[in-house]
Amino acid sequence: MIDQFAGGNIELSNLQENFSFAGVSCGLKLSGKKDLGAIFCKKKALTFAVFTQNSVAAAPVKISKKRLNKNKFIRAILVNSGNANAATGIDGFNDAIEISKNFSDLIGIEEDEVLLASTGIIGVRLDKSKIISKIPALVDRLTLNNHLDFKESIMTTDRFEKEYFETISSKECGGIYIRAYAKGCGMICPNLATMLVFITSNINADEKILKEMFINCVNKSFNAISVDGDTSTNDSVFFMTDMSCPENTINNREDNLIIEFEKALNRCCIKLANDMVRDGEGSTKILEVRAIGFANEENAKKVASNIAKSTLVKCAFFGSDPNWGRILCAAGNTNLIDEDSVSIKIFDTEVYNKRPINFDKESLSKKISDNERVIIEIYNNSGDKSFTFYGCDLTFDYVKLNSEYST
Amino acid sequence: MIDQFAGGNIELSNLQENFSFAGVSCGLKLSGKKDLGAIFCKKKALTFAVFTQNSVAAAPVKISKKRLNKNKFIRAILVNSGNANAATGIDGFNDAIEISKNFSDLIGIEEDEVLLASTGIIGVRLDKSKIISKIPALVDRLTLNNHLDFKESIMTTDRFEKEYFETISSKECGGIYIRAYAKGCGMICPNLATMLVFITSNINADEKILKEMFINCVNKSFNAISVDGDTSTNDSVFFMTDMSCPENTINNREDNLIIEFEKALNRCCIKLANDMVRDGEGSTKILEVRAIGFANEENAKKVASNIAKSTLVKCAFFGSDPNWGRILCAAGNTNLIDEDSVSIKIFDTEVYNKRPINFDKESLSKKISDNERVIIEIYNNSGDKSFTFYGCDLTFDYVKLNSEYST
């Protein structure tokens, strides 16, 4: 039923996508690489978004939030990399408004039908004239096929592109699709900000159902990862659908297509979130931490995230050290576990069970060393709720990347 | 009036100290260095302590807590380094009880007049026979002068000894003194735990006044530092006084001697806490972060500690980068500041004031590079409360020390 990336049994030629993409270079990046991108929808697209919880939010975040509060039917998103337009005060805010106006006027849509996103250096005003001069070229290039350019234009120091495409067959409309592009979560270079995700689709379902699915998927993916425990000024995740498929709105949460779609959306978000962690600054390993058997999901999340974020745990796994003492200690810092009732596994090896137990340390260390993804499980006995949190190891390269002088 | 370290205008020969100290090697440390220490008081000593908030608490912490709840007049503390006796289950608990009993029996005091502290590897049962066989030698060596041996016996991988001595002249008793020894806060080697502080004095004042002073001083020092954001299984701070000076209990909070004593205790705690940060794993700089102008101290503390604990801030200062964007971003993560109303200083240089401002980056970077202590100030406009939090930079050596395989 589901075909990731390729299309498989769905005739992709029948698939109707109303979104178009573009990416150009406007000169914000000194390298001359693409740094200005846009997504445009032929129709009004139902749009949800979540933004950074940092009170220091960049101008584009403030503007997008405000617009989405007034208007959930959006036509376009304008993105730049190379400059985050964060901590730039009222001047930066006005710059963003002017750029947005220029873009919406040229396309011929309302001002508040445009959302904005920026990523790059913090605290430096962006050169709006560079952006404005390239908006006509950008708008000219808007086609579905130019998603490759878009993908490039949102990157900063990401080591690889992060994308997702999946289709779900449906009797009508040539299939339901999820298409997504993301840029990395690590605040990789000095003053660089951060996580941007753009998901487009044609799913047609009740707004409340869609919003709930979106929030759920975000919480289990983009809100369940950490490279260094810091959230940035610019983090934004957008979901847009033109609601063209199926032809009649699905109002039933239990509808098969909705269930399939939610699974697919979840796969999409988990995949992109994992890509971000894998691309975290200098990281060599993903730490997948599963907290199992808690009274509620919130507690499970606190325990899993405290383990994944502990610098001591992160360093230990960089050194391929199956250091359960640090895992237990990090979990204990939440005050939500009792050492006399928990057990800990690294991959399939039990390393602690209510008290220290013997295990083959050398062989487990070798397994950690041989794998890019390390599975850490902590079992509690206070309920049936679980949460998986994704982190990465802490390496020499992280310190190197983040301590190099910013100019 | 106050004479730190030396005694100055106080005739130290007149100073009466009823505490004695000892330290021996019992073989827990493979190096053969001293690893078993004791403090003993000729009289019952009024004792306060604070312990780790980690729910995974070591056996000695559990036992000391329990005893102090029953009995605040303590005679002795027995300490070992080389093994934390943490996450060792009921066996570890029983080991500690047996060791303690052996010690109290030999000295001839009650079992619950002894407190315990351990530091070293987590999750490995300690060899109690090694400790028990050396207790007679330890007890034999108890004199005031053997504080040098005690100081050595509590260290693990500390790079330097941490101590404090100060006297306050008083008309009677030859002066009031504060004597303190500490071991470092960084969880420096794999599985090593952590912060131990022992403060002795002869101050005689109302219990409530003394306890309040102790808690206040701890909150502004040992609870206001972080090397890597992790608290250990063994953190303990002890304060003991034989209440011999002055001869009459001071019941007045505003008494001059009490005010002088509180200032001195505060200096003692700040000094030792700073020594711990300075000795943090691989650190090259202390970050002294002052959050100023908040509605309450708790908010100020959250902002200051979030800045001091941010790995991005820590890396930036390792690289001598006056990166105010990361400082602002870390502060914003608390949701307690508004970028449009705060200003930030690094040393005396204003680097942000409601919006980015120009400053001489090269010269400020040089100043950071030239100083072991970096002063970071964030000014808010919502009240008159402030808090200072101490952190350190994050260096290659931190990662190296913490990623080396534990065996």
Helix (H, G, I), strand (E, B) or coil at A342: coil
A188, A321, A403: best to mutate for the B interface, most B CBs within 10 A = A403
Q: pLDDT band at residue A189, thresholds of 50, 70 and 90?
A: very low
For chain A, the average pLDDT equals 90
- Of A278, A308, A331, the last residue of a domain is A278
ipTM above threshold 0.90: no
Look at A310 and A405; give whichever has higher pLDDT: A310
B143 an active-site residue? Answer: no
Q: pLDDT band at residue A333, thresholds of 50, 70 and 90?
A: confident
Highest mean pLDDT among A75-84, A217-226, A352-361: A75-84
- B52 & B89 share domain: yes
Does the annotation list A69 as a binding residue?
Answer: no
Q: Which of A275, A278, A273 is CA-nearest to residue A388?
A: A273
Q: Which of residues 148-207 of A touch B (CB under 8 A)?
A: 187, 190-191, 193
Summarize the confidence of residues A28-32 as an average pLDDT: 93
Query: Are A91 and B355 in contact (CB < 8 Å)?
Result: yes
Look at A38 and B316; give whichever has higher pLDDT: A38
**Residues B356-396 pLDDT 10s:** 889 999 999 999 999 999 999 999 999 999 999 998 888 88
- A154 & A17 share domain: yes
* HEC sequence for chain B: CEEECCCCCCCHHHCCCCEEEEEECCCCCCCCCCCEEEEEEEEEEEEEEEECCCCCCCHHHHHHHHHHHHCCEEEEEEEEEEECCCCCHHHHHHHHHHHHHHHHHHHCCCHHHEEEEEEEECCCCCCHHHHHHHHHHHHHCCEHHHHHHHHHHCCCCCCCCEEEEEEECCCCCCCEEEEEEEECCCCCCCCECCCEEEEEEEEEECHHHHHHHHHHHHHCCHHHECCCCCCCCCCEEEEEEEEEEEEEEECCCCCHHHHHHHHHHHHHHHHHHHHHHHCCCCCCCEEEEEEEEECCHHHHHHHHHHHHHCHHHHHHHHCCCCCHHHHHHHHHCCCCCCCCCCEEEECCEEEEECCECCCCHHHHHHHHHHCCEEEEEEECCCCCEEEEEEEECCCHHHHHHHHCCCC
Helix (H, G, I), strand (E, B) or coil at A309: helix
Report the 10 Å Cβ neighbour count for B63: 23
Residue of B nearest to A306 (CA): B230
Write down the pLDDT at residue A3.
38
pLDDT at position B281 over 80: no
- Of B237, B252, B278, the last residue of a domain is B278
Comparing B91-100, B224-233, B284-293, B300-309, the range with the smallest average pLDDT is B224-233
Write down the pLDDT at residue B9.
45
Q: Which of residues 23-82 of B touch A (CB under 8 A)?
A: 53-57
Write down the pLDDT at residue A226.
79
Q: Which of B136, B157, B26, B137 is CA-nearest to residue B80?
A: B26
d(CA B157, CA B73): 32
- A267 & A302 share domain: no
A337 contacts chain B (CB < 8 A): yes
d(CA B400, CA B281): 9
Helix (H, G, I), strand (E, B) or coil at A211: helix
- B237 & B322 share domain: no
- B235 & B299 share domain: no
What's the CATH number where B159 sits?
Answer: 3.60.70.12
**A336, B33, B56, B102 from B129: Cα distances, Å:** 34, 17, 25, 11
Does the annotation list B194 as a binding residue?
Answer: yes
Residue of B nearest to A357 (CA): B123
Select which of B52, B88, B167, B194 is catalytic: B194
Write down the pLDDT at residue B400.
81
pLDDT at position B229 over 80: no
Q: Which of B128, B114, B141, B115 is CA-nearest to residue B82?
A: B128
- Number of A/B CB contacts below 8 angstroms equals 225
Does the annotation list B34 as a binding residue?
Answer: no
Write down the pLDDT at residue A11.
57
**Residues B153-179 pLDDT 10s:** 999 878 899 999 999 988 888 899 999
Summarize the confidence of residues B343-364 as an average pLDDT: 94
- B186 & B327 share domain: no
Domain that holds residue A218: 2-278
pLDDT at position A190 over 90: no
DSSP H or E segment with residue A83: strand A73-83
- A212 & A236 share domain: yes
Write down the pLDDT at residue A207.
97
pLDDT at position A9 over 60: no
Summarize the confidence of residues A342-349 as an average pLDDT: 97
**8-state DSSP, A34:** -
- B50 & B127 share domain: yes
Q: Which of A307, A325, A213, A306 is CA-nearest to residue A268?
A: A213
Q: pLDDT band at residue B2, thresholds of 50, 70 and 90?
A: very low
Q: Which of residues 96-135 of B touch A (CB under 8 A)?
A: 121-125
pLDDT at position A407 over 70: no
Count of domains observed in chain A: 2
B399, B404, B406, B407: best to mutate for the A interface, most A CBs within 10 A = B399
Does the annotation list A183 as a binding residue?
Answer: yes
- Of A278, A310, A329, the last residue of a domain is A278
CA B51 to chain CA centroid, nearest Å: 11
pLDDT at position B307 over 70: yes
Query: Are B331 and A56 in contact (CB < 8 Å)?
Result: yes
Summarize the confidence of residues B5-20 as an average pLDDT: 68
- A240 & A384 share domain: no
- B28 & B157 share domain: yes
Give the up-direction half-sphere exposure of residue B251: CA atoms within 13 A in the CB hemisphere: 1
**Residues B241-268 pLDDT 10s:** 999 999 999 999 999 999 999 999 999 9
A226 contacts chain B (CB < 8 A): no
Helix (H, G, I), strand (E, B) or coil at A178: strand
Chain A residue numbers touching B407 (CB-CB < 8 A): 361
d(CA A305, CA A288): 10
What's the CATH number where B385 sits?
Answer: 3.10.20.340
Summarize the confidence of residues A132-153 as an average pLDDT: 97
Comparing A29-38, B119-128, B195-204, B292-301, the range with the smallest average pLDDT is B119-128
**Cα distance from N-terminal residue to C-terminal residue, chain A:** 51
Q: pLDDT band at residue B312, thresholds of 50, 70 and 90?
A: confident
Percentage of chain B exceeding pLDDT 90: 71
- A262 & A292 share domain: no
d(CA A31, CA A25): 10
Write down the pLDDT at residue A398.
76
Does the annotation list B334 as a binding residue?
Answer: no
- A263 & A330 share domain: no
d(CA B387, CA B296): 9
Q: pLDDT band at residue B186, thresholds of 50, 70 and 90?
A: low
